[in-house]
Copies of this chain bind each other. A is one copy, B any other.
């Protein structure tokens, strides 16, 4: 029997705590030490906004484990309020500082795991050090924001990414007047427009003052604090939550000479080993591999962190049988009031930036059978590789069933599925849960129709006056929600074959309907009658009015 393995873990939250638990399952004899700079371990990071907003009522609910429960259940050596200040790689030991006692010491390791996470960005803006400008990472940060919110009337959230949206929602829930400032021209910048329209509509509906395309330049002291924006606009705030992104907390790794990526992330191989094979790294601080391109990518999310930590433990104890990390899809989701939105894999903007070829299909539907009560609108954008038909990414937004479609599509990407596979995917159907043709099937149908030349989709209506815009919705829908576009010709689909003479065969036509489906049907009629025709994908709902009603036609 060999000497028990000494496994030292730096960072006690998602990746670190998962690694510690897994290591103990694999070895009762190992010496496992979990070191955490903060006072808390294994807390539910992703739940912090919801305790601030009062949706999670018990602070205890966020403490998945305490140092005491970890010691009792896992026989760990847990050291909180302890910082690792140096790694002696040749000597295989780390130097720690006990932050309470002020003492330092050395701890030997056979395997070391770095799970330091990431810290919120705080750019060096004038006034950034004002005590009313807060960021959210730890339970302590959460308590500070919650306390400050008690006395605040006006709150400004800067950055409309995942955390920013959650904070805006939860602060509005507390009755605050919330201003949400975002540098880009949309909320949730990772997504393509118009996939964020429904979210933006929902935020405004809940009286969140949405300031898009504007950035913070300074915080000017006074009561209230003035947030000065690049446009010159001034926003008064009693509290500012800064959520403009994170940077990996990797000074320790850098000082130890471990290989880092261009933005400071720790580089690891498929087994989470750094450039020093005795040192692993996992979670928000690392660069992993993109699932599709195998290029380095950083995905600071809870799910991957947990699984990476577990994998690092597996490889520490069973290096020959561990399967490598498959890479990251970047699957993510956020809720803002009644709307959910998320993505998996690549977006159009990312593909464009990388000059990669792709095609898209955007489809609207209900989240379950339209004839069953409670059906809610859902919008799905599918992105695939032109020649192979392989799914590259998807974005979904809607009022229900968004997580399900994202998860199906994340699994489809993992399995290398094509648009033909999606068309035939056999998903669960009973009226309360789905549809005989789920929106995922419809996305597959639409993509195949595009590939096979049955339809030419367009994503925007051009300004070109020679193009005929043909709205094929039934007259009552047109009257209730007219297309905001002068010169539109209205012929409902049912009358189209009889009224082809009203269209000019020498000029191109773009067909438009409520959801995109009837426009496709009309485009088929026109194409087979010799017209040069394209169809607006996603319909009125996607482009102009995210909640516009529509009786769904059935293919």
Contact = CB atoms under 8 A, between A and B. Distances in A.
Interface in A194-210: none
A425 to B, nearest CB: 6
Interface stretch (A139-147, A330-338, A503-511): A330-338
Interface in A322-377: 323, 325-326, 328-335, 340, 342, 344, 369, 371-373
A411 B445 CA distance: 16
Copies in the complex: 2
Contacts of A75: 497
A107 interface: no
A311 B424 CA distance: 9
B328 A426 contact: yes
B554 A21 contact: yes
A554 B64 CA distance: 7
B415 A416 contact: yes
A307 interface: yes
A104 interface: no
B433 A403 contact: yes
A414 B410 contact: no
Nearest to A403: B433
Contacts of A251: none
A38 interface: no
Given A303-B429, A427-B303, A44 B412 contact: no
Interface string A297-316: 00001111111001100000
**For chain A, which range describes its interface: under 10, 10 to 19, 20 to 34, or 35 or more residues?**
35 or more
A521 B69 contact: no
A279 interface: no
Contact of A403 (B29, B373, B428): B428
A475 interface: no
A294 interface: no
A25 B524 contact: yes
Contacts of A411: 408, 411-412, 415, 417, 425, 427
A50 interface: yes
B321 A433 contact: no
A80 interface: no
Nearest to A523: B25
Contact of A410 (B328, B334, B428): B428
A406 interface: yes
Nearest to A432: B335
Interface string A22-62: 10111111000000000000101011001000011100011
A424 B302 contact: no
Nearest to A374: B55
A65 interface: yes
A440 B325 CA distance: 17
Given A407-B407, A416-B415, A521-B73, A433 B554 contact: no
A104 to B, nearest CB: 31
Interface string A527-543: 01100000000000000
Interface of A: 14, 17-18, 21-22, 24-29, 42, 44, 46-47, 50, 55-57, 61-62, 64-65, 69, 72-73, 75, 162, 166, 291, 301-307, 310-311, 321, 323, 325-326, 328-335, 340, 342, 344, 369, 371-373, 402-404, 406-408, 410-412, 414-417, 420-421, 423-434, 436-438, 440-441, 445, 449, 452, 454, 493-495, 497, 520-521, 524-525, 528-529, 553-555
